[in-house]
Structure formats: C-alpha cells, structure tokens
Chain A
C-alpha cells in the first residue's frame, strides 16, 4: 500500500519551459513534505519543503504547491535547465518531521 505516489515515472521537458512534477498521498496525517533530487550514483539532496499550514513555498526557480483537500502536491521548476535532469522524490511525514515516507520518484529529462 503506497502512501506516497508519483504516478509519472518519467517526464521530458524542453529547456526554458516549466517542469511540473506531481505527488499524491493517501495518509491524511501527513503534515510536512519534502522534495529531493537525485543524480546517478549520488544520494538524494534536499530541494524544498512545505508544511501543511502553507499552500505554497518558493525558492528561486523551484515552487512547491500543496492542496490538502486533494492530498496532492506539485513541484514547479521554471525555467527548466539541463542540469535539472535527475530523479525527483516526494517525501511526506506525519507529526514529527523525522520519519519520512518516500514516493517512487519521477525521472525528469530537460532537453537542450
């Protein structure tokens, strides 16, 4: 039973355009969410977070949107760059922000 779902295994976007990566969750107790980026042969690196008290958080080219009623969040990357090509994981935590459940990831390819 996957509590965190990323239904698109892969996504291709042209350089300069917007990339939108989606994440859905089933556990209504989740209240803190993270996005990680992972390059091959490296560990995941933190990208951006959002708490359930917000519906949007922005950091440079990266914006995360949270729709609690739909149990859905999305990561927007604008403009997309070839260096953004990586696997993106959505992760969710309930209560303590310590234990996170990760989604299966979406592989983003930004084409020059």
Chain B
C-alpha cells in the first residue's frame, strides 16, 4: 500500500514569491491534515479536512495561506506571498477517521530567501 505522497520534497524561493505544495493521501483516508514543523519543534496543525470540507482551519494564516481539497482526495497548500518566517517543513498526514494514528508524508522543506 502506497503511503502519503508529497511533492516537491524541497523548494527554495525568494520572499514575496508564491509557492504550492501537493499531497496525495493514502487511498480511502477521508481525513487529511496539513502541518507546519519548525526546526526543533513538533508539527503544528494548519488545517484538517474531512473529505472536501475544511473542518478546522483556525490555525491557518488566511491572509497568505490557502488550501483546497476539491474532490476529497489530494490537496494543495499555497502560500502567497511567502515570507522569510515561512521557512519550515510542511507535512501532510491522512487517517481513516477512526480515533488514533495519522500517517505522515515525508514533508516538503521550504526555504525562503
């Protein structure tokens, strides 16, 4: 069974540029999460989807961040414009909705210069 797929794995951009990350969850997983992980910290939730509905986006900085999961499968997270402080690893995770474990992708490491 394929795991959570994320692309790109690495991205380097200049500040004020836009950037997008893509995630394909495990087949059949209705719940999808986007996390931000800063160096030396644990993952912090940005947004959680149940199918195509964003059920928790309270931590998403909506002035510059947006996300979509149009058909309830894969998802895109966008930052526009990027700031220096956005440099971090962006993790996607999925689960089957039951209480418990989330399956994480390898993450996208973003560097904003």
B101 touches which of A43, A49, A99 (Cβ 8 Å): A49
Would you call A91 and B42 a contact (CB within 8 A)? Answer: yes
A104 touches which of B41, B101, B103, B105 (Cβ 8 Å): B41
A interface footprint on B73-106 (CB within 8 Å = 1, 0 otherwise): 0000000000000000001010101111111111
Within 8 A of A (CB), among B28-64: 31, 40-45, 48, 56
Which partner residue on chain A sits nearest B55 by CB separation?
A98
Would you call B4 and A89 a contact (CB within 8 A)? Answer: no
Which partner residue on chain B sits nearest A93 by CB separation?
B99
CB neighbours of B40 from chain A (8 A): 9, 104-105
Docked pose: A34 CA to B107 CA in angstroms: 20
In this complex, how many residues of chain B approach chain A with their Cβ under 8 Å: the count is 24
Would you call B104 and A41 a contact (CB within 8 A)? Answer: no
Would you call B100 and A34 a contact (CB within 8 A)? Answer: yes
B interface footprint on A85-99 (CB within 8 Å = 1, 0 otherwise): 000010101001111
B31 touches which of A44, A91, A98, A102 (Cβ 8 Å): A98
Q: Which of A45, A98, A100 has the most CB of B within 10 A?
A: A98
Would you call B99 and A97 a contact (CB within 8 A)? Answer: yes
CB neighbours of B104 from chain A (8 A): 36, 43-45
Q: Does A4 contact B (CB under 8 A)?
A: yes
Would you call B101 and A42 a contact (CB within 8 A)? Answer: no
Docked pose: A98 CA to B96 CA in angstroms: 10
Would you call B101 and A89 a contact (CB within 8 A)? Answer: no
Binding site for A on B (CB under 8 A): 4, 31, 40-45, 48, 56, 91, 93, 95, 97-107
Binding site for B on A (CB under 8 A): 4, 9, 32, 34, 36, 41-46, 49, 89, 91, 93, 96-100, 102-105
